[in-house]
Amino acid sequence: MAGIVNYIKESFDELKNNVSWPTLAEGQSLTVLVAVFSIIFSLAIWGVDTVFSKVIEAYFTLMN
């Protein structure tokens, strides 16, 4: 049990003293960037899925 407590203390110390955290403005701009790219990527996947769905639907329609 003491090992777990020591691990947690060392982890917090590492995060507090050795990690370089971005400023609030950097964090906000990176969050917006991730959100925009996530939306763009999801729209691209939706588009590819729609095209594949139409192609497969057309294929099975021709096979009947």
Place of tokens 């777990």: 4
Give a yes or no: residue 52 inside a domain. Answer: yes
Q: What is the pTM of this model?
A: 0.64
Give a yes or no: residue 1 inside a domain. Answer: no
Write phi, then psi, for 53 (nearest 5 degrees): -65, -45
Contact present, 22 and 30 (Cβ < 8 Å): yes
Give a yes or no: residue 44 inside a domain. Answer: yes
43: containing domain: 38-64
Residues 6+ apart with CB under 8 A from 30: 22
Give a yes or no: residue 33 inside a domain. Answer: no
Give a yes or no: residue 60 inside a domain. Answer: yes
Q: What is the pLDDT of residues 10-64, one digit of tens each?
A: 999 999 999 999 999 999 999 999 999 999 999 999 999 999 999 999 999 999 7
Give a yes or no: residue 32 inside a domain. Answer: no
Give a yes or no: residue 42 inside a domain. Answer: yes
| Count of the separate structural domains present in the chain | 1
Give a yes or no: residue 46 inside a domain. Answer: yes
